[in-house]
Homo-oligomer: A and B are copies of this chain.
Amino acid sequence: MSTNGGDAVSAREESQASAVTYSNDSGLGIIHISDGRGNRLNPSSLEELSRAFQEGLADEDAKLLMIRSGERSFCLGMDLEGLESSLDDDGSGGNSGGDHRSGGVKRYSSLLYSIAGCAKPVIALVEGDVKAGGVGLAAACDIVIAREDASFELSEVLFGLVPYNVLPYVFSLRMSPQRFRYMVLSAARVDAREARDFGLVDRVFSEDALEKGLKSMLKTMMRAEPRALAAAKTFFTRALDQDFDTLRGNAEQALLKHMAQPQVKEGLEAFHSGDMPEWFSRFKPGKKLSGQNG
């Protein structure tokens, strides 16, 4: 985005030094990924990502978390060079190749599970290409916001692979089984609006409208009661495998229990008397939330 070549280079060097950073801007915990090479996933980048994510979860001043990339690609999926080396290793008699693969797969799976199951809303801001494992990373987030020129692609079959690890998040959480088949078997590149229609993306903005639209959504979310957000996420995760009648019964019980909590009464009294409940936070970010800055 800069015409100054020198700046661009030094920015990239810095980002390679710390490909994943965590910062808090006005209550929004931002997990910023930018390795200058498409944020490919391998055991070490997944370790960094998980650490930043845990930092956000532990940050008491972060009501919401957002994962974003500072470069053109959100995440291009598994690091195939690393995979290739690991397969060479196997041939040499040692077991480190298998360990490398197993470490990557387990870290990926466990990161996605934490995102979907944690107590804070997690937003994925997608401003560019998302491929393979990157699609699962976005899909596991509670809310996916995409710029209209973003793209989504599950083209593993062209490489002899299958997006197994992506499946639980896309298939169970976002898309009908046959839609997922279409994406996987056709290896099609799906644009942001199509991805929204398919369920992968929740909201699409043009480049011009993105910053404002995102800020406005986050502003509303900062007025949410945090225990309600946490309770909702926990209940959603538990609801996935409940049959309809069990779910109905559990929902009734959970609602009655929730309504009796003191913050509900305090909130209603505040609204009633024209005040704002204590949980309303204002969102005044100091930096731009979107745009390439990697």
Q: How far is the CA of A252 from the CA of B101 in the complex (A)?
A: 11
Residues of B within 8 A of A199 (CB): 176, 178-179
Q: How far is the CA of A229 from the CA of B244 in the complex (A)?
A: 22
Asked if A256 and B186 make an inter-chain contact with CB atoms under 8 angstroms apart, the answer reads no
Residues of B within 8 A of A256 (CB): 98, 101-102, 105
Asked if B272 and A84 make an inter-chain contact with CB atoms under 8 angstroms apart, the answer reads yes
Q: How far is the CA of A241 from the CA of B175 in the complex (A)?
A: 15
**Number of chain copies forming the complex:** 3
Q: How far is the CA of A172 from the CA of B80 in the complex (A)?
A: 34
Is there a chain B Cβ closer than 8 Å to A220's Cβ?
yes
Asked if B142 and A224 make an inter-chain contact with CB atoms under 8 angstroms apart, the answer reads no
Asked if B162 and A268 make an inter-chain contact with CB atoms under 8 angstroms apart, the answer reads no
Residues of B within 8 A of A176 (CB): 173-176, 199
Return A220 CB to nearest CB of chain B, in Å. 5
Asked if A167 and B259 make an inter-chain contact with CB atoms under 8 angstroms apart, the answer reads no
Output the nearest chain B residue to A184 by Cβ-Cβ distance: B232
Residues of B within 8 A of A188 (CB): 203, 217, 220
A263/B220 contact (C-beta < 8 A), A178-B173, A232-B184, A255-B105 known: no
Interface stretch (choices A15-23, A26-34, A46-54, A153-161):
A153-161
Asked if A167 and B228 make an inter-chain contact with CB atoms under 8 angstroms apart, the answer reads no
Output the nearest chain B residue to A200 by Cβ-Cβ distance: B178
Output the nearest chain B residue to A272 by Cβ-Cβ distance: B84
Q: Which of A249-264 contact B (CB under 8 A)?
A: 251-252, 254-256, 258-261, 263-264
Is there a chain B Cβ closer than 8 Å to A227's Cβ?
yes
Chain A 268-294, CB-CB to B under 8 Å as 1, else 0, gives: 110110000101000000000000000
Q: Which A residues have a C-beta under 8 Å from some C-beta of B? A: 80-81, 83-84, 87-88, 90, 98, 101-102, 105-106, 109, 113, 121, 139, 142-144, 156-165, 167-168, 171-182, 184-188, 196-197, 199, 202-203, 217, 220-221, 223-225, 227-229, 231-233, 235-236, 239-241, 243-245, 247-248, 251-252, 254-256, 258-261, 263-269, 271-272, 277, 279
